[in-house]
A and B are shown apart, each in its own frame.
Chain A
Amino acid sequence: DAGVIQSPRHEVTEMGQEVTLRCKPISGHNSLFWYRQTMMRGLELLIYFNNNVPIDDSGMPEDRFSAKMPNASFSTLKIQPSEPRDSAVYFCASKSRGGPYEQYFGPGTRLTVT
């Protein structure tokens, strides 16, 4: 079975540009999470979707960040406009309905904003 799929794997962009990160969760999983990882702050939850509905976006740093989940198999995280401090690895993770808490992470998108 395919795991969580993320694209692009690497993104280099200039400050002020729009960045869109994409995620396809594991089929049948109904929970989706976006995380950001930096050396300074570690791994932080940005937003959590359950059944395609945003449940907790308290970790979204500011209005420049937005996330959508139009259907059960696709989610996007958008940064507009991007800033150098947004440079990080962004992970998407999914979890199955009920059951154990294990979250399955995608390979991440390494974002560099110059």
Chain B
Amino acid sequence: RKEVEQDPGPFNVPEGATVAFNCTYSNSASQSFFWYRQDCRKEPKLLMSVYSSGNEDGRFTAQLNRASQYISLLIRDSKLSDSATYLCVVTGGSNYKLTFGKGTLLTVNP
């Protein structure tokens, strides 16, 4: 089983749509969880951390289910500028090591 698995997509949605990404991780000792965003031919950038209680940042909502080892990202009212690859990221037992999923490509269409 891969350490971090994501729905590969691609997701093609119209502007204004709500889209959800899912991710599972294999290491039950994982301590911290993140979503990174990577634009085409650019570097990854932190989108948001994911907390056990769930957290929201504007149109973005992240959820964590430790029992199921499952992470999700919900984007509401999607914009053209949301088009990117979304990377699910998990730390293992070592707090420095980020393990990245292969990413889910989102294209928001006008």
Using a CB–CB cutoff of 8 Å, the interface residues on chain A facing chain B are 31, 41-45, 48, 50, 55-56, 91, 95, 100-103, 105-108
Give 12 CB contacts A-B under 8 Å: A41-B102, A42-B103, A43-B87, A48-B97, A56-B96, A101-B49, A101-B95, A101-B96, A103-B98, A105-B44, A107-B43, A108-B43
Q: Is the interface of A mostly helix, strand, loop or mixed?
A: strand
B26 at the interface (CB under 8 A from A): no
Apart from A43-B102, A102-B34, 5 more pairs, CB < 8 Å: A43-B100, A45-B99, A48-B97, A56-B94, A101-B98
In the complex, what residues of B have CB within 8 A of residue A44's CB? 100
- Where the two chains meet, the residues of B that have a C-beta atom closer than 8 Å to any C-beta of A are 32, 34, 42-46, 49, 87, 91, 94-103
Q: Which of A42, A48, A101, A106 contacts B91 (CB 8 A)?
A: A101
Q: Which of B46, B95, B96, B102 meets A42, CB within 8 Å?
A: B102
Known contacts: A101-B32, A101-B34, A101-B91. The answer to whether A106 contacts B98 by CB under 8 A is no
Chain B min CB distance to A112 (Å): 14
Q: Which residues of A contact B45 (CB under 8 A)?
A: 105
Q: Give the complex CA separation of A8 and B53 in angstroms.
A: 42
Q: Which residues of B lie under 8 Å from residue A107 when comparing CB positions?
A: 42-43
**Cβ-defined contact, B46 with A102, below 8 A:** yes
Interface centre among A42, A55, A95 (most CB of B within 10 A): A42
Give the interface centre of B49, B91, B98 by most chain A CB atoms within 10 Å: B98
A100 to B95, CA, bound (A): 10
Instruction: List the 5 closest A-B pairs by CB distance, nearest first.
Output: A105-B43, A42-B102, A43-B100, A102-B46, A105-B44
